[in-house]
Chains A and B, each alone.
Chain A
Amino acid sequence: MITAKLLPGTAACQGCPSTMCLRTVLEALDKAVLVVPASCTSVYMGAYPHSAINIPVFNCTFASAASTATGIKGALEFKGIDAEVVVWAGDGGTYDIGLQALSGAAERNEDILYICYNNEIYSNTGIQRSGATPYGAWTNTTVSGKREHRKDVAEILITHDVPYVATASAGYLRDLYSKVRKARKIKGFRYIEILAPCPPGWRFPMDRTVEVGRLAVETGMWILYEHIHGEFRFTGLSRSIVEGKRKLRDLRDYLRIQGRFSNLSDEEIDEIEKFTQKKWEKLKKLHHELSHS
């Protein structure tokens, strides 16, 4: 009998963060159905009549993950079936085309777990910019580097006041596992966003996915936190950094390892640094406000 929920032999690239994180997420779930909009996942799960995912999966259209999940959850609840409805979507399906449905479902506080694996690009269609692509990054639609900063859907969802919002990184799978376990116990709309360094899209060697995922947190380019029922807390290494137990690494260490940032000028690096600092200040303020109110 097969007990693994993500079977070996997917069609994903070697070193794929999405498969690593999906395996972790599936292991953290019990009885669940997965809703997957168009993305790398819809391809690497394999072709009909086979599938690498060993729980019920519904592949939906690119824009409709949160609303499809709404329908599935509504039906399960009506039938009295206790099961998790989990969306597994890329940043394109989350930040851009699916944002309207996501915001609607969050506002209605649908009882679903929405997980965004954020590889900061449309990777399935061959590496184009998304609303999550950071400033300065090369993609096939930003060949001389993206000129805008990324938006932040986790923050957008915090302003929706949903019961649970968390960030995670492919560099810390145990942290991801425990966040999914925690989210499972909470009722209502839950959102987890995982930074997912993608070797071909970010142009780094395929054996360094975990390292890049960690560097993002160590350099402060990606911040780990949880926002639970209105309370904000930093988690993992980001917490140690805020508490002064760990020093931030130079963000150049993070940028240097990735080919997509190879053409950055010093001014552009300064710009990224400023943006990152602003983000930290903002989250610290949020932490202060929400934990001292």
Chain B
Amino acid sequence: MFEVLEHREKLQTKILTGNEASAYAAMNAKVRFVAGYPITPATSVIETISKLIDEGKMKARFVAVESEHSAMSACVGASYAGLRTFTATSSHGLAYMHEMLHFAVNARTPVVMAVANRAIGPGWNIWSDLSDSLSQRDTGWLQFYCSDIQEIYDTIAMAYRIAEQVMLPVMVCYDGFVLSHSTKPIEVTPLDGFIEERDAEGIDFDNPTTFGNISPPESYFSLRKAIHKAVEGSLDVIGCIEQEFLEYSNRYTPMLCEGYFLDDAEKVMVSMGAVASEARVAVDLLRDEGEKWGLLKVKSFKPLPKKIIKAMLSGKEVFVIDRSLSPGTGGILHHEMSSILGDVNSAILGLGGVDVTAEAIVGSLKRLRGFT
């Protein structure tokens, strides 16, 4: 308890953008290697980090590489050699990394990356759309979707603890511009006592090993199985670390999912990211009209806390609001929710940055229910 009090005295409140919050979280999480390549709207994460390092506030090696493929390669290399690493990207940058996203998982490197969600062209569209990171679902990266700026900071802090415990890479995702560029006063909690320096052995020159050589079928199969188990097992780890962070910071930042007016709700919206914030307001609006609505915000898309979701939503009519599209399948969150709950209602809103207001959500839900 003493430690908690002590660090709360050091707590600073700063007005930061979502991207700056990412950078400050990486700094306080004792990241020691950052490789970055600019892409709107993630660019200012890397710019802020490079500035923090230049000013001597952050002690890390920064490499401005020549592509996102290289950014992830360099992070994997540095992580393998024992450092805590970070990068940030978006959209085409994330797509360009795809090969290395798989590689980071099979290499079991605990790389953490911020993703400022953005649509993928053509046509060039720099606005929010979660399809970029959601379409990386099957790489095995853990994925958390933030709904506000404080959450970005806290989630990155927790992401390192999770990544290094389960030895899997983690994406911390947030809507481009809506969260990456808007500002809010946040608590920049110093993370001493919550995250220590990464203590990884790195390369053993005295007892050399070969990493990643030809892997015969059986050993490859068991590697993949171990990864699957690690993703599943991360649910418990995430729960524990969320609790530890609450005790440490006095702030509850949900990592799996969060309900809003769920107890007596008959109808529930399910959403992720910034849209989930707006959906809260939509719940309020509908409750004012006497409708018993609630919200389930999914924070952890990977691992998806299926049992918790099922328990929270049983007996309720479910409406999934997606800001993503898998052409021919529909909303990606909707697809996942259907696999848990059977077919449920689906609305796709806000692709390519189309504004998602609470009113728009209410309007679309009413149309789905045949009100108008």
Say yes or no: is A83 at the interface (Cβ < 8 Å to chain B): yes
Instruction: Answer whether A70 and B70 are a contact pair too, CB < 8 Å, given A49-B219, A58-B80, A75-B78.
Output: yes
Q: In this assembly, does A33 line the interface, its C-beta being within 8 Å of a C-beta of chain B?
A: yes
Contact check, B214 vs A47: say whether CB atoms are below 8 A apart.
Answer: yes
B contact residues, total (Cβ < 8 Å): 42
**Contact for B209 among A56, A74, A104, CB less than 8 A:** A56
Check: A54 CB closer than 8 A to any chain B CB.
yes
Chain A residues contacting B66 (CB-CB under 8 Å) are 67, 100-101, 103-104, 107
Q: Contact: A48 with B219, CB < 8 Å? A: yes
Does B82 lie within 8 Å of A58, measured CB to CB?
Answer: no
Assuming the contacts A63-B69, A100-B66, asked whether A71 and B212 have C-beta atoms less than 8 A apart, the reply is no
Stretch at the interface among B151-159, B168-176, B198-206, B284-292: B198-206
The answer to whether the Cβ of A64 comes within 8 Å of any Cβ in the partner chain is yes
Residue A128 interfacial (CB < 8 Å): no
Asked if residues B63 and A31 are in contact (CB atoms below 8 Å), the reply is no
| Contact present for B65 and A67 (CB under 8 Å) | yes
Chain B 137-170 per-residue mask, 1 if CB under 8 angstroms from chain A, else 0: 0000000000000000000000000000000000
A71-92 contact mask (Cβ, 8 Å, vs B): 1 or 0: 1101111110101000000000
Does B210 belong to the interface (CB within 8 Å)?
Answer: yes
Interface pair B103/A61, CB less than 8 Å apart: yes
Q: Does B116 belong to the interface (CB within 8 Å)?
A: no
Q: Is the CB of B213 within 8 A of A33?
A: no
Contact A75 B211 (CB under 8 A): no
B residues 36-86 near A (Cβ < 8 Å) are 60-61, 63-67, 69-71, 73-83, 85
Is A56's CB under 8 angstroms from B204's CB?
yes
For the complex formed, measure the closest distance between the CB of A55 and the CB atoms of chain B, giving whole angstroms: 5
Q: Is the Cβ of B76 less than 8 Å from the Cβ of A59? A: no
Tell whether B99 is near chain A: CB-to-CB under 8 Å. Answer: yes
> Does B309 sit at the interface, judged by CB under 8 A?
no
A71 to B81, CA, bound (A): 8
Do the beta carbons of A61 and B211 come within 8 Å of each other? no
Number of chain A interface residues as a range:
35 or more
Q: Please give, as numbers and ranges, the residues of chain A lying within 8 Å of B100 by CB-CB distance.
A: 61, 64
CB within 8 Å for A59 and B74 given contacts A74-B63, A78-B33? no
Q: Are A48 and B216 neighbours in the complex by a CB distance under 8 Å?
A: yes
B123 within 8 A of A: no
Chain A residues near B203 (CB-CB < 8 A): 33, 56, 72, 76, 81, 83
Whether A108 sits at the interface, judged by CB under 8 Å, is: yes
What are the residues of chain B within 8 A of A72 when measuring CB–CB?
77-78, 80-81, 203
Does B122 have its Cβ within 8 Å of any Cβ on chain A? no
Give chain B residues whose Cβ lies under 8 Å from the Cβ of A76: 81, 202-203
Spell out B's residues near A (CB within 8 Å): 32-33, 35, 60-61, 63-67, 69-71, 73-83, 85, 99-100, 103, 202-205, 208-216, 219
Closest 3 CB pairs of A and B: A71-B77, A104-B66, A75-B81
5 A-B pairs in the complex with CB atoms less than 8 angstroms apart: A33-B205, A47-B213, A61-B103, A70-B35, A75-B33
